[in-house]
């Protein structure tokens, strides 16, 4: 027989893991809902062209692309932003603004799996479309912070950068390959300073331009320290305007009560080419080799690229497979009881007895208890053994002799105490023992 394995970079999620994931999803979903974002879902696959429109070469390279039976070129979604843009352009351009949508679903990228990276992974994200103001940036950044807080995470920061300033910076240096420069700057934290300097020289920067880059990446920390320095580095009017926005952003974040979790890091570029202004990423210290646990930013011209009227937008995505191991490593995820509350076993093979077991189980289930019965029809000894192994606290034993008197035995597995009760009282009895 041929053994079929999982496709590379995919995961089976077992009951314990699913319980934890659902817990995390629920916490995040509650916050999203409280911020008045509404859930949407788009198709798992779209025309490949949709994802190519955005033209980030790397994204296209990582597409899970194939031809369907009708000869259509389609791809599994690598994120939801393109689909959301498509949906917005085709049906929501005249909707009252802003449009506030969220999603919690799976994405697919054909990459080499490693720590915190799979080919199928889940993201919880939001898109806020139609708001140009800094209030919109503040809204989504605050929401991201509150989402992490809702999962119990406390030591993390959301680092905020700005594409306008980076563009300006590239212009100051006379660099044409601004994206290339941003990529390089983005790597600052991974390299030792001398390696970083070397990489910048290799990129073609002159000595004093390298110095400028080094002073740029110094622009990191609380706004009170960073903003004055940034004002010295950036002299243009547009930069001054952008810095003013950042200042306001932090004032707003204070009003949201989450300012302490946010920092400025003007060296953040983010990989996607479509970001236009404020960008941000969430980092939580860990020894798991996991980088950012979420990221986002403003993409004011993407809707246009998808054929819509110019429409400002911003959003973020939280990487579930990165967040969960971090929560787990900090003991922030509760343990979930998967075992039933009560287990019904029967003695004998007669249909009457088997029916009674099903019936008693039904009554317990109808009463809202997590109840199971021994479908295997084990011997009593083995059945108790089974219940014990799973830590099932209560067992109902149905035997012929007692049943003749209309009674069943309810056993407390921890103490071994048993009571013979009328069959119709079994729900009441079990409920009492469970303390509900």
Partner RNA sequence: GCCGGGGUGGUGUAGCCUGGUUAGCACAGGGGACUGUGGAUCCCCUAGCCCGGGUUCAAAUCCCGGCCCCGGCCCCA
Residues binding RNA (CB under 7 A):
3, 5-10, 56, 58, 62, 79, 109, 111-118, 121, 123, 183, 186-187, 190, 270-272, 281-282, 288-289, 291-295, 317-319, 321-322, 347-348, 376, 378-382, 384-389, 397, 399-403, 409, 411, 413-416, 418
User: Considering the complex, what minimum distance in angstroms separates the CB of residue 116 from RNA?
Assistant: 6
Quick one: 153 or 293, whose CB is closer to RNA?
293
Quick one: 70 or 285, whose CB is closer to RNA?
285
Which residues are registered as beta bridge partners of 74?
47, 66
DSSP-derived 3-state class of residue 28: helix
Q: How far apart are CA 129 and CA 126, in angstroms?
A: 10
Asked if 279 contacts 182 with a C-beta cutoff of 8 angstroms, the reply is: no
Quick one: 243 or 356, whose CB is closer to RNA?
356
User: Considering the complex, what minimum distance in angstroms separates the CB of residue 107 from RNA?
Assistant: 7
Strands (E), 328-433: 342-346, 371-373, 394-398, 407-412, 418-422
354-358 — which CB contacts under 8 Å span 24+ positions? 356/398, 356/403, 356/408, 356/423, 357/398
User: Considering the complex, what minimum distance in angstroms separates the CB of residue 279 from RNA?
Assistant: 9
CA distances, 386 to each of 75, 375, 381, 397, 413 (Å) = 47, 12, 9, 13, 11
Quick one: 118 or 134, whose CB is closer to RNA?
118
Quick one: 94 or 114, whose CB is closer to RNA?
114
User: Considering the complex, what minimum distance in angstroms separates the CB of residue 296 from RNA?
Assistant: 7
DSSP character at residue 190: T
User: Considering the complex, what minimum distance in angstroms separates the CB of residue 8 from RNA?
Assistant: 3
Dihedral of the alpha carbons of 320, 322, 325, 331, in degrees to the nearest 10: -80
User: Considering the complex, what minimum distance in angstroms separates the CB of residue 132 from RNA?
Assistant: 22
User: Considering the complex, what minimum distance in angstroms separates the CB of residue 272 from RNA?
Assistant: 5
The number of beta carbons lying within 10 Å of the beta carbon of residue 312 is 21
Quick one: 308 or 399, whose CB is closer to RNA?
399
Alpha helices for 306-379 (secondary structure H):
320-329, 351-366
Quick one: 10 or 93, whose CB is closer to RNA?
10
The number of beta carbons lying within 10 Å of the beta carbon of residue 386 is 17
Pairing of strands 278-283, 342-346: unpaired
């Amino acid at each position: 027989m041929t053994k079929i394995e999982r496709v590379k970079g995919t995961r089976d999620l077992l009951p314990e893991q699913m319980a934890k994931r659902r817990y995390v999803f629920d916490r995040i979903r509650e916050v999203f809902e409280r911020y008045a974002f509404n859930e949407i879902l788009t198709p798992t696959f779209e025309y490949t062209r949709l994802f190519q429109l955005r033209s980030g070469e790397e994204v296209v390279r990582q597409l899970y692309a194939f031809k369907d039976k009708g000869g259509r070129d389609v791809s599994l979604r690598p994120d939801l932003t393109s689909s959301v843009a498509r949906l917005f352009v085709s049906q929501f351009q005249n909707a009252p603004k802003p449009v506030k949508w969220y999603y919690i679903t799976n994405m697919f990228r054909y990459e080499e799996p490693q720590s915190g990276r799979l080919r199928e992974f889940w993201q919880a994200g939001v898109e806020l479309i139609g708001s140009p103001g800094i209030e919109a940036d503040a809204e989504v950044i605050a929401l991201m912070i509150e989402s992490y807080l809702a999962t119990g995470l406390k030591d993390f920061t959301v680092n905020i950068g700005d594409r306008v300033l980076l563009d300006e910076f590239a212009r100051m240096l006379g660099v044409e390959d601004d994206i290339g420069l941003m990529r390089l700057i983005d790597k600052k934290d991974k390299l030792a300073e001398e390696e970083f300097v070397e990489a910048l020289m290799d990129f073609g920067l002159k000595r004093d331009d390298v110095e400028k880059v080094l002073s740029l990446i110094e622009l990191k920390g609380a706004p009170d320290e960073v903003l004055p320095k940034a004002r010295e580095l950036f002299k243009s009017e547009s930069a001054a305007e952008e810095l003013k926005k950042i200042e306001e952003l932090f004032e707003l974040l204070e009003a949201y009560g989450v300012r302490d979790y946010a920092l400025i890091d003007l060296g953040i570029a983010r990989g996607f080419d479509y970001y236009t202004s404020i960008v941000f990423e969430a980092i939580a210290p860990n020894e798991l080799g996991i980088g950012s646990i979420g990221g986002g930013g403003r993409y004011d011209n993407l809707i246009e690229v998808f054929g819509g009227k110019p429409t400002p937008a911003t959003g973020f995505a939280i990487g579930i497979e990165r967040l969960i191991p971090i929560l787990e490593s900090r003991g922030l995820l509760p343990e979930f009881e998967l075992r039933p509350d009560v287990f019904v076993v029967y003695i004998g093979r007669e249909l009457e007895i088997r029916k009674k077991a099903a019936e008693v189980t039904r009554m317990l289930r109808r009463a809202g208890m997590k109840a199971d019965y021994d479908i295997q029809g084990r011997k009593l000894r083995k059945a108790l053994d089974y219940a014990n192994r799973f830590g099932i606290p209560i067992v109902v034993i149905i035997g012929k002799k007692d049943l003749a008197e209309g009674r069943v035995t309810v056993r407390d597995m921890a103490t071994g105490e048993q009571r013979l009760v009328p069959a119709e009282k079994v729900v009441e009895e079990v409920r009492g023992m469970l303390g509900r």
